[in-house]
Amino acid sequence: MRGSTVLAGEPCAVPREGDPPVHRLELRLPDQVPFAAGGFDAMGPMSRAAYPHRHTFYEIVHVVEGSGVHVIDTERYAVRPPQLGVILPGQVHRWEGVRGLEGSLVLFTPEFLVGGVGDEELLRRLGERPWVDLDGAGHARTGLLMEELAEEYRGGADGFAGVLRSLLHVLLVRAARQPGGGGAGGPVAPVVRGVAEEFLRLAPAAGIAGVPVRECAERLGVTPGHLTEVVRAATGRTPAALLREERVREAQRLLIATDLSVRQVAARVGFDDPAYFCRFFRREAGRSPGGFRKHHDGRVPSIEADAPPA
């Protein structure tokens, strides 16, 4: 979500009608640093928001006290500190029934990563298992890093942005080392990894829009066959499967976090025909859209012809 930060005091991004609110990251002036770090109280009430919302930035949260549930997209994670969580741009999340929630957060945009696409790949892998329990040593190391990030951010001394980038890189690498934290992955040839990383950066928006593999390959300057080969080598999945996964995930988010009708959800993820969308969703998710929504929150959507347009 590049270029999505705003000057302090500006409102959240305006979502399309019916979509969850979108929170943006304020810029730190005069350096215009797209980064923030501190405790829940320092970050303000939105850091504990109980309503479904998205971010245009990454969030890493270190929970040290409290109870309740953290909901990320379709998954519910019990708050049992000490824990480390990762929320990716575009995901829908909320805190539910939390009490005594304490800890610290780090917020940043992709531009701030010192490791570039390598760090983005680490974050993608962390996002596959976004809520992990920390052992005593991991909790202590994470706490020290989060405290140092917050102190450096508050101080704003000369060169603080470079220090923050370096500390953030260390945090990501160590988070990936945690059991269940995504790991570092096996060795992949640099050229293969580069094409695969570019595809993975393209996949969320392309998948939601229904962009075919052929068009993705054209955008990346490779053939569809080559794209399939390198993405499979890097991830073990085909590009088509990853695009379908993004499309289904976005539909699930909208079904759970909004009151949009199934017809409207279908349109938001690139389907002109709601009936075809329903068949696609059932095949990929194992439930009809209405059954999926009912399973998660009890609401039964409508696909009546007179449903309001998207």
Specify whether 172 is located in the same domain as 195.
no
Specify whether 152 is located in the same domain as 231.
no
pLDDT score for 1: 33
Specify whether 79 is located in the same domain as 116.
yes
Specify whether 37 is located in the same domain as 161.
yes
Specify whether 253 is located in the same domain as 286.
yes
CB atoms within 10 A of CB 184: 12
pLDDT score for 310: 37
Specify whether 42 is located in the same domain as 76.
yes
Among 145, 177, 209, the domain-final residue is 177
47's tokens? 């850091």
Specify whether 26 is located in the same domain as 145.
yes
Specify whether 102 is located in the same domain as 216.
no
- pTM score: 0.77
CATH number at residue 118: 2.60.120.280
Domain assignment present for residue 165? The answer is yes
DSSP letter at 268 equals H
Residues in the chain predicted with pLDDT less than 70, given as ranges, are 1-15, 29-30, 180-193, 297-310
Structural domain that includes position 257 = 190-297
Find tokens 């260390």 and name the residue: 170
Does residue 70 contact residue 103 with C-beta atoms inside 8 Å? no
Domain assignment present for residue 6? The answer is no
pLDDT score for 233: 86
Specify whether 206 is located in the same domain as 143.
no
Specify whether 101 is located in the same domain as 52.
yes
Domain assignment present for residue 125? The answer is yes
Specify whether 152 is located in the same domain as 34.
yes
DSSP letter at 21 equals P
Domain assignment present for residue 3? The answer is no
How many folded domains does the chain comprise?
A: 2
Specify whether 33 is located in the same domain as 78.
yes
Q: What amino acid is encoded at 56 in this protein?
A: T
pLDDT single digits (tens) 146-156? 999 999 999 98
CATH number at residue 284: 1.10.10.60
88's tokens? 């990716």
Among 153, 177, 201, the domain-final residue is 177
Among 117, 145, 177, the domain-final residue is 177
pLDDT score for 181: 61
Closest CA to 150 of 138, 139, 164, 137: 164
